[in-house]
Amino acid sequence: MALRVAVAGASGYAGGEVLRVLLGHPAVEIGALTGNANAGQPLGSLQPHLLPLAGRVLAETSADSLAGHDVVFLALPHGQSAAVAEQLGADTLVVDMGADFRLRDAADWERFYGSPHAGTWPYGLPELPGARAALEGSKRIAVPGCYPTAVSLALFPAYAAGLAEPEAVITAASGTSGAGKSAKPHLLGSEVMGSMSPYGVGGGHRHTPEITQNLSGVAGEPVTVSFTPTLAPMPRGILATCSARARPGTTAESLRAAYEKAYADEPFVHLLPEGRWPATASVYGSNAVQIQVTHDPHADRIIAISAIDNLAKGTAGGAVQSMNIALGLPEETGLSTIGVAP
């Protein structure tokens, strides 16, 4: 029998993407689609690429409209998920694609988000040590941020294997869909095409504490994170260029061995053959992660680079992957590792 799934916030990019993924999921039946400003409108005018749902009309996001579903995906502005989740029964699987339940440290939350901490849910990055087990059978899932997904997967094997000093320096380039669908002048096509620009520089980006939490957790000691996000002229994709000073004795070979071990059984993470490097185009629209790592002998640093689709593995694909685990379905159900390229 099909799982009945609702999506709250179906008019935005995360909501649209989770619907795109769920439309290909054989165990799912799509139930309520809700919005706020857009309630009453047909999805066809809001998400014209989702042809099979073109005639569906958005309901108001409310306890009523979301009731009676097996799974509810939340694609809401941060700070709004807790109130909605409370109204859903304890046996409804709630998958929050927002930030509200990602951080364990309440002080971090308050410093970066400026509101009271709502709590912590099992973290939907199954590839992280221990994460998959915590997701099994869970009724609540906090989907990771897009940057933390890309960065954590690029770097954690080096920390897990004790090969990296606890100071990570990260620059990541993201497609513009990461900034959402709200119309802001600096996100106009005229502004972003042909331009690269940084933002949240100097430790201010909200994904910084989440990256720190992930890497420190794996390293077993505090990892200092310097994270600079940049906006790239493309709709989707994150390329995360991550580096850390190597611990004594680290070599390209020991790194490769550590990454091969970490990802040997992971269905979505593809450690590229030596000499080839990730490109965001290769994972466009898919749940795949491309990773490569090397040691720069002159600077004695580890360089690990990952490419993901920020909306897919970085948000909605990762969310469905975690849903599959929570529900005991095969983890790959409904998910693709095939990018749409060129």
Cis peptide before 342 (omega within 30 of 0): yes
Mind giving me the DSSP string for 153-178?
Answer: HHHHHHHHTT-EEEEEEEEEEE-GGG
Closer residue to its own copies in complex, CB, 210/326? 210
Structure-token match 């008019």, residue found: 11
Taking the complex as a whole, the smallest distance from the CB of residue 198 to its own copies amounts, in Å, to 5
Structure-token match 């970085």, residue found: 314
Taking the complex as a whole, the smallest distance from the CB of residue 53 to its own copies amounts, in Å, to 9
Sign of CA dihedral 28, 331, 327, 124: negative
Taking the complex as a whole, the smallest distance from the CB of residue 44 to its own copies amounts, in Å, to 7
DSSP state, residue 208: H
Asked if residue 237 lies in contact with residue 175, where contact means CB atoms within 8 angstroms, the answer is yes
From the number of C-beta atoms within 10 Å of its C-beta (0-12, 13-18, 19+), residue 301 rates as middle
Asked if residue 168 lies in contact with residue 148, where contact means CB atoms within 8 angstroms, the answer is no
Mind giving me the DSSP string for 260-301?
Answer: HHHHTT-SSEEEPPTT----GGGGTTSS-EEEEEEEETTTTE
Taking the complex as a whole, the smallest distance from the CB of residue 17 to its own copies amounts, in Å, to 9
Taking the complex as a whole, the smallest distance from the CB of residue 15 to its own copies amounts, in Å, to 12
Residues designated catalytic? 146
Residues 307, 316, 225: CA angle, nearest 5 degrees: 50
Taking the complex as a whole, the smallest distance from the CB of residue 126 to its own copies amounts, in Å, to 18
The closest alpha carbon to 59, from 319, 69, 25, belongs to: 69
CA dihedral 279, 285, 289, 291 (to 10 degrees): 0
Taking the complex as a whole, the smallest distance from the CB of residue 146 to its own copies amounts, in Å, to 14
The helix (H) or strand (E) run that includes residue 147 is helix 146-160
> Strands of 224-231's sheet, edge to edge?
197-198, 224-231, 164-174, 238-246, 301-308, 289-296, 269-271
Closer residue to its own copies in complex, CB, 67/245? 245
